């Protein structure tokens, strides 16, 4: 997933950045926004999809303290953990259902 940083976001230093995700949209944007917004040191977190015909998403993070890029990395790692947990829980429930209902796998 290629990520770029908007040049105009340099003015505020490391605490405020806008990142551009190519070939991404609302699915990743909303999930990542929900996770990063919950961090105590994050002042603002949001995203936009500039135009439906463009396959990119702008993702903005503003911090009270710390670096925006670190919050982004942490958010991506936490999203991966959440997805892994969801898949594991789902697979366990499917196995349990099949075992309880004597369904062959």
Domain range 3-100, its CATH number among 3.30.450.40, 3.30.70.980, 3.30.465.10, 3.30.1360.10: 3.30.1360.10
- Express each pLDDT in 27-42 by its tens digit: 999 999 999 999 999 9
C-alpha R_g of the chain: 18
- For the chain, give every domain's residue range: 3-100
Structure tokens at 16: 């405020």
pTM, entire model: 0.82
52 pLDDT band (50/70/90 cuts)? confident
Strand stretches in 39-82, DSSP E: 42-48, 56-63
Q: How many CB atoms lie within 10 A of CB 101?
A: 7
Structure tokens at 11: 């003015």
The angle subtended at Cα 15 by Cα 13 and Cα 17, nearest 5°, is 80
56 closest CA partner among 79, 80, 29, 78 = 29
Residue in the structure block whose two tokens are 């976001």: 9
């Amino acid at each position: 997933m290629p990520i770029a940083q908007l040049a105009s976001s340099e003015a505020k230093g490391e605490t405020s950045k806008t990142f551009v995700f190519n070939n991404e949209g609302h699915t990743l944007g909303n999930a990542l926004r929900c996770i990063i917004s919950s961090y105590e040191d994050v002042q603002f977190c949001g995203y936009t999809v500039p135009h439906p015909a463009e396959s990119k998403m702008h993702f903005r993070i503003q911090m009270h303290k710390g670096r925006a890029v670190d919050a982004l990395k942490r958010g991506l790692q936490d999203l991966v953990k959440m997805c892994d947990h969801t898949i594991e829980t789902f697979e366990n429930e499917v196995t349990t259902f099949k075992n309880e209902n004597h369904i062959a796998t």
